[in-house]
Structure 1
Amino acid sequence: MSTCDRRSIFRPCIDLHDGQVKQIVGGTLSDSNPEALKTNFVASQSPGDFARLYKRHDLRGGHIIKLGPKNDDAAREALAAWPGGLQIGGGVTDANAQEWLDNGASKVIITSYLFPAGKFSLERLQAMSHTIDKDRLVIDVSCRRRGDKWLVAMNKWQDITDMEVCKESLDLLSKYCSEFLIHAADVEGLCQGIDEDLVRRLGEWVTIPTTYAGGAKHIDDLALVDRLSGGKVDLTYGSSLDIFGGTLVKFEDLVKVSRGPREACG
C-alpha cells in the first residue's frame, strides 16, 4: 500500500475509573498517592451511552481502558451496548482474555501482563498467543519519555519497564499481535499537544495498525498525525473533546473530518 493510500483516522475511547467514564491526567495516577489524582472530567452518562454513540457513528477500533479495580461491570455494560465494536484493556491476562472476547470485545489489549516485575517476558507473550488468535490481540506499549528514548510504562503508567519503544521491540511484538496502542503518558490528559517526535518515529517504525493517544487539542491534530506518520498512526482524542467536557474539539466536527476526503498527495 502506498503512503497516499493510507490515512490516519479518529479512534474513540472509554476510560473507566471506579466504574465511571472519566478523563484523567495520566501522570497523576498513583496507587501510593491517590490524593495526587487529577481528573479532568467525570461523565454523567453511562459507559453504555458512549458505546452507543460510537456505534451510531460506526467508529470502530476504539478502546475501553479499565484504570484500576471496580471497572468490570462498567466495561461489560459498554461491550454489551456494542458487541464486536470495541477493544478492552486493563488487567487482561491469558486467564481472562477469552472471557472478555466472549463478553463482546473485538480485541483484548495487554500491557502489564507482559512485564512481571517490570521485565519483559517473551514466554508470557507466547503463552497469550496460544490462548487467543493474533488478530484478536492488541499490545499496549504506552510509554514515558526518558531523555531521547521512550520506555514502556505499565500499571496505570506508574512503573517504567525494561523495554524501549523502538523499531526492534515493535518488530518483535508485531509477530504476536494485530495492533499497537500507545499512550504518551507524559502528555495524556493535558491538552497541550501531541508528542510529535514519538508520532513521527512511530510512522517510521510500525508495520501494523497503531493508535496514538495523548495531548490532542485541536481538530487539525488528526491531519498533523496523518502527515507525521505517513498515515500509519491513528489518533485518539480525550479531554479536549466536548463529549468529555472539553471546549477545544467538537465530536461531531471530528467525525466529519475523519470521514472527509483525504488531501491529495504530492
Structure 2
Amino acid sequence: MSAHISLKKISLFFEQHRVLDNINLDIFKGEFVVLLGPSGCGKSTILNLLAGFYQPQQGTIFCNERSVQQPDPSRGMIFQQPNLFPWLNVLDNVTFGPRLSKHNRELVNARAREWLKRVGLAGFEDHFPWQLSGGMKQRVALARAWLPGPEVLLLDEPFGALDAQTRMMMQELLRDAWLENQTTLLFVTHDVDEALFLADRVLIMSAHPGRIVDEVTLPFGRQRDIETLVEHADYRYLKQKVLQRVRYEAKRHLTSS
C-alpha cells in the first residue's frame, strides 16, 4: 500500500539556519496524523511544505504519487485564524475559492449551504464575519476548506484561539466530517489531550532542528467519545508518555540554547 503523503529526507534551511533535519514521513489515505512538539520545532513548516508554499533544499515531497511543487486545490489548509474576508457574507466566504474558476453557481451554493448545515451554521449564510463569534468564524473556515473536496487537509492549530468548550465542539465537528469524508488529515497542535482525541497516530518532534523523534499509534478506535475517552485502559499511560516526551524535548532545547 503506497502512502498518500510521503516526505523523504526533507531538510530545510532559513538563512543558513537548519529548521528541519532529515524528515521522513508517510501518511496513508484517510489517516489522521497529529504533529506535536515544542514551539519553533518546524511543525507548521512541514504543513507549509506540503501545501506547496515553498520548497525544501533537500529531499522530496509527494502527494498521491505526484511531486508537490506548488499549492493545489487537492490540498486544503486551515489556520489558527479563520482569515475570512470581512466584506463578504458567510456564504460568499465559503464559496470564494470555487468562484475564482469556472463553476456552476447554483451547485456550489447548494453544496456550501450543506456544509454550513453540517457545521451548525444553517441560517447564518447572510451574516458577515463581524457578526460571528470566534468559534462560528472557525466553523466557516472549516466549511470553506472542505467545500472543494480536498484529498488532503492541513490544519495548523485551528482551535488554539478558542475557549475550552468551543474547542471541544470543534474537535467533534472535525472528527465527524473526517469520518464521513475519509480525507487525509495532518494536524498541528500543542495540546496533548486534543492529539489523543483526534489522531490515529501522534508524531513527536524535537526542536532546532526539527526531527521526528517518536511515534505513538493510538489504540482507541475511530468511534471515540470525548467524554468517555479518559476511561480507556491505556489513556493515562499514553497521555503521560506523550506529555513526558514533549516536555523532555522542550527542556532539552531550553538547556542547550
Bin the TM-score by the shorter chain. 0.3 to 0.5
Looking at both structures, which has the greater relative contact order when contacts are Cα pairs under 8 Å and sequence separation is at least 6?
2
Choose 1 or 2 for highest CA Rg. Answer: 2
TM-score by structure 2 length?
0.38
Q: TM-score, normalised by structure 1?
A: 0.37
